[in-house]
């Protein structure tokens, strides 16, 4: 069973789409900080462009809970805006604060869309290693079509 956690208006085929807002395509409405799935019940979790919308402490708790729900060998696929790449883009030609803080028009409608923390792929991978994940890959994110801005981290739950 695959999960698209914090799917927003972007449901993934072949996944249970989970969000706190009942968008079209959302099958489970819940807060990511309280996952209603059994321990060891999931094969994969996609957590794309969502972790930055939580405080650091909440995000680390969510990653621990994702690990709890994964089967041994299960994977978590995380993507989001790389804060260093965002600053470099801002300093060069883009000049868009939206890359760092989120889209202001959307934040005005949905305050929960504001970014609350910034990550890099390597920094997030380090945090995940500290909680027992094995890192399979750190690279450029592609889900939202911004590989020059986004990171990707693939983590694996080993053992039991």
Rounded CA-CA distance 150/152 in Å is 7
Which residues form the domain of 151?
2-157
Phi, psi of 58 (to 5 degrees): -65, -40
Report whether 3 contacts 44 (CB < 8 A).
yes
* Tens-place pLDDT, residues 8-53: 999 999 999 999 999 999 999 999 999 999 999 999 999 999 999 9
Collect all residues with Cβ–Cβ distance below 8 Å to 80 and sequence separation of at least 6: 48, 49, 50, 51, 52, 119, 141, 150, 151
SS3 at position 59: helix
How many structural domains compose the chain? Answer: 1
* Tens-place pLDDT, residues 100-120: 667 778 778 877 777 878 888
Question: The domain spanning residue 144 has which CATH number?
Answer: 3.40.50.150
């Amino acid at each position: 069973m695959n999960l698209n956690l914090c799917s927003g208006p972007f449901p993934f085929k072949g996944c249970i789409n989970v969000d706190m807002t009942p968008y079209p395509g959302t099958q489970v409405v819940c807060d990511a900080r309280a996952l209603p799935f059994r321990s060891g019940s999931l094969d994969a979790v996609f957590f794309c462009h969502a972790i930055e919308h939580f405080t650091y402490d909440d995000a680390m708790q969510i990653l621990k809970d994702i690990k709890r729900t994964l089967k041994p060998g299960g994977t978590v696929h995380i993507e989001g805006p790389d804060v260093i790449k965002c600053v470099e883009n801002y300093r060069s030609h883009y000049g868009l604060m939206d890359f760092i803080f989120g889209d202001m028009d959307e934040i005005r409608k949905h305050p929960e869309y504001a970014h609350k923390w910034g990550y890099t792929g390597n920094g997030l991978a380090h945090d995940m290693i500290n909680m027992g994940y094995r890192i399979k890959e750190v690279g450029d994110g592609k889900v939202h079509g911004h590989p020059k801005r986004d990171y990707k981290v693939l983590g694996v739950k080993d053992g039991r």
